């Protein structure tokens, strides 16, 4: 259910993303075409669509990993168009937690140290980093694996470390890119159940997936085709 009584965590206003330079003889590819939507605090939203629909581009814009060609993007009320690259990086680190298909953990570093990384960038003290990272790992069921490296963890456990790392800065939203893509069906189900638990605790979750079955686990689906939103329910 879309929550109309609070400010949106994310707002896109007529956002387009065009690749290529026709003025230099190139071909313009309109990956996103006039996309508008709002996502509110506490929502669990799946962004889905076929290959080439614009999901990856939307993910990059949601995560402030690249800039739009036209339109406006607001994160927690902040108009991102007006920010410098450094300001975008600070906003990204503070407000957005990322969970990727590939886990993206440092291979020779413990689960605890992996989760501490965003806190280092945020300037949190050593003792506070340790305690915050420890508590997040306990929350995802890995309190007994604090000092294990990725090679000592299963795929599902590695993804739980990645989720703990994404949440340790208390971001405005959790942005998940095909979070079960590298997991077997049983382990993938466990991760989806964890997302459901996080949603019930009030975490805002935006999950990008090509799998309509997985998308149906969310409470709202935004369907993209040919760079446009064709369904939002």
| Structural domain boundaries in the chain | 42-70+85-232
DSSP annotation of 151: G
Query: In whole angstroms, what separates CA 97 from the centre of its chain?
Result: 6
Looking at per-residue pLDDT, the higher value among 101 and 44 belongs to 44
Phi-psi bin for 217: left (phi > 0), alpha (psi -120 to 50), beta?
alpha
| CATH number for region 42-70+85-232 | 3.40.50.300
The mean pLDDT value for 102-108 works out to 92
Report whether pLDDT(137) > 70: yes
pLDDT of residue 219: 96
pTM over 0.85, yes/no: yes
Q: What is the pLDDT of residues 78-97, one digit of tens each?
A: 999 999 999 999 999 889 99
Other beta carbons within 10 angstroms of residue 5's beta carbon come to 5
- The CA distances from residue 58 to 70, 107, 186, in Å, are 13, 29, 28
DSSP annotation of 20: S
């Amino acid at each position: 259910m879309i929550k109309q009584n609070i400010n949106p965590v994310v707002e896109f206003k007529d956002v387009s993303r065009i690749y290529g330079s026709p003025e230099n003889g190139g071909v313009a590819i309109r990956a996103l075409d006039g996309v508008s939507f709002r996502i509110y605090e506490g929502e669990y939203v799946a962004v889905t669509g076929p290959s080439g629909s614009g999901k990856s581009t939307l993910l990059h814009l949601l995560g402030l990993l690249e800039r739009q060609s036209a339109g406006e993007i607001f994160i927690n009320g902040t108009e991102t168009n007006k920010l410098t690259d450094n300001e975008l990086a600070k906003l990204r680190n503070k407000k957005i937690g990322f969970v990727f298909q590939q886990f993206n953990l440092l291979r020779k570093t413990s689960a605890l140290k992996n989760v501490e990384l965003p806190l280092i960038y945020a300037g949190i003290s050593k003792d506070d980093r340790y305690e915050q990272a420890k508590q997040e790992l306990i929350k995802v069921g890995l309190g007994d694996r604090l000092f294990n490296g990725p090679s000592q963890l299963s795929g599902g456990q590695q993804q739980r470390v990645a989720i703990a790392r994404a949440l340790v800065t208390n971001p405005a939203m959790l942005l998940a890119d095909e979070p079960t893509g590298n997991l077997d069906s049983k382990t993938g189900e466990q991760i989806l159940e964890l997302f459901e638990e996080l949603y019930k605790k009030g975490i805002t979750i935006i999950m990008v997936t090509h799998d309509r079955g997985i998308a149906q686990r969310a409470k709202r689906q935004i369907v993209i085709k040919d760079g446009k939103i064709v369904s939002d329910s």
